């Protein structure tokens, strides 16, 4: 089963939950960091008490971008007219090309009547594989200044081969989140019980509902924010996404977080709760219509 962990709002504890879930399964699992603009699962895992099983392997992630053969180009402008991203401009019969705007769609080379456009690899980021105990950790990292997160996210997801898979998605509701969530069996939305947290939770829930991904909610830092949970329960009811876990706001958890340690190492009892969350998501993935009736709100 593939579970994507997301949150409308940044800073809710999404990565904490992703790592906690992976560490709690006690089985081989892929942990994919698809928050490629700001990955940080690698800051927690080395402090989980697991052996680094082998050397880390780093691979480049590239996308094909066009190059123009000036000997064949007639300056007709068909390529720049086609490109919807402004990555090509024809000035005085010369094609100017802006790598950073290119979305690597390949369209310009298809429409060029002279066959003047070929494609070359353009590096957008790296993918680092490592193995901590039973966890296969894959970290995607977009180079500074690059904007094409989706191809890198797809490349990270291709590293998983059918084992249990936990995906740490970017916060928000933009293209990188959609790409990370695409094809997932279940979603886990992490929030906090504050006006910002609940507002952005509703946005994320709308995305996951539209994608048809059965999902649950984790309330992090339970005990801060609204005194009652009525607004949170309203979001839960509206989308049929049950509240599956409450992580308390406690000294032990805050200290672990500040020290870069996974919270399951600070509060071992959380492992049992994470496993129960995973089991419930598996049940919902098999029978999505049971999501509402399975709510623990």
Q: What is the contact surface with ligand SF4 in residues (CB under 6 A)?
A: 66, 68, 73-79, 82-83, 85, 87-88, 90, 95, 102-108, 112, 114, 116-117
Task: Please enumerate, as own/partner, the contacts of 257-261 that have beta carbons within 8 Å and a separation of 24 or more.
Answer: 257/16, 259/47, 260/43, 260/44, 260/47, 261/44, 261/47, 261/48
The sign of the CA dihedral 194, 254, 29, 297 is: negative
Residue located via tokens 């906690």: 20
- Ordered DSSP codes for 187-215: EEEEE-SSHHHHHHHHHHHHHHHHHT--E
| Complex with ligand SF4: residue 27 or 93, whichever CB lies closer | 93
| Complex with ligand SF4: residue 103 or 199, whichever CB lies closer | 103
HSE-CB of 146 using CA atoms within 13 angstroms = 23
| Complex with ligand SF4: residue 108 or 263, whichever CB lies closer | 108
Q: How far is the CB of 84 from ligand SF4 (least distance, A)?
A: 7
Q: How far is the CB of 147 from ligand SF4 (least distance, A)?
A: 12
**262 Cβ partners below 8 Å, 6+ apart?**
16, 19, 20, 23, 44, 45, 47, 48, 256
Q: How far is the CB of 70 from ligand SF4 (least distance, A)?
A: 8
Residue 264 sits at φ, ψ, to 5 deg, of -70, -20
| Complex with ligand SF4: residue 103 or 226, whichever CB lies closer | 103
Q: How far is the CB of 62 from ligand SF4 (least distance, A)?
A: 13
| Complex with ligand SF4: residue 76 or 267, whichever CB lies closer | 76
SS3 call for 18? helix
Distance of CA 288 to the CA centre of its chain: 22
Q: How far is the CB of 134 from ligand SF4 (least distance, A)?
A: 41
| Complex with ligand SF4: residue 28 or 106, whichever CB lies closer | 106
Q: How far is the CB of 289 from ligand SF4 (least distance, A)?
A: 41
Q: Are 8 and 171 in contact (CB under 8 A)?
A: yes
């Amino acid at each position: 089963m593939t579970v994507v962990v997301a949150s409308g709002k940044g800073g809710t504890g999404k990565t904490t939950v992703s790592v906690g879930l992976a560490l709690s399964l006690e089985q081989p699992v892929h942990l994919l960091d698809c928050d490629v603009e700001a990955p940080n699962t690698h800051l927690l895992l080395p402090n989980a008490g697991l052996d680094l099983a082998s050397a880390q392997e780093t691979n480049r992630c590239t996308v094909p971008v066009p190059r123009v053969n000036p000997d064949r180009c007639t300056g007709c402008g068909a390529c720049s007219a086609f490109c919807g991203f402004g990555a090509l401009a024809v000035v005085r019969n010369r094609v100017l090309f802006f790598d950073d705007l290119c979305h690597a769609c390949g369209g310009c080379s298809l429409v060029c009547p002279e066959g003047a456009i070929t494609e070359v690899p353009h590096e957008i980021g790296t993918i680092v594989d490592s193995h901590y105990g039973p966890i296969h950790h894959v970290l995607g990292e977009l180079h500074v200044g690059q904007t094409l997160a989706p191809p890198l996210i797809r490349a990270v997801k291709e590293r998983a081969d059918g084992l249990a898979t936990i995906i740490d998605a970017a916060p928000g509701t933009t293209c990188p989140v959609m790409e990370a969530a695409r094809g997932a069996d279940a979603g886990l939305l992490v929030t906090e019980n504050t006006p910002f947290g609940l507002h952005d939770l509703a946005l994320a829930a709308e995305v996951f509902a539209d994608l048809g991904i059965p999902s649950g909610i984790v309330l992090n830092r339970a005990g801060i924010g609204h005194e009652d949970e009525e607004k949170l329960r309203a979001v839960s009811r509206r989308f049929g996404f049950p509240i599956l876990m409450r992580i308390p706001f406690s000294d032990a958890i805050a200290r672990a977080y500040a020290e870069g340690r996974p919270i399951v190492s600070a509060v071992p009892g959380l492992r049992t709760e994470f496993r129960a969350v995973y089991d419930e998501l598996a049940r919902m993935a098999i029978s999505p219509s049971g999501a509402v009736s399975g709510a623990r709100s």
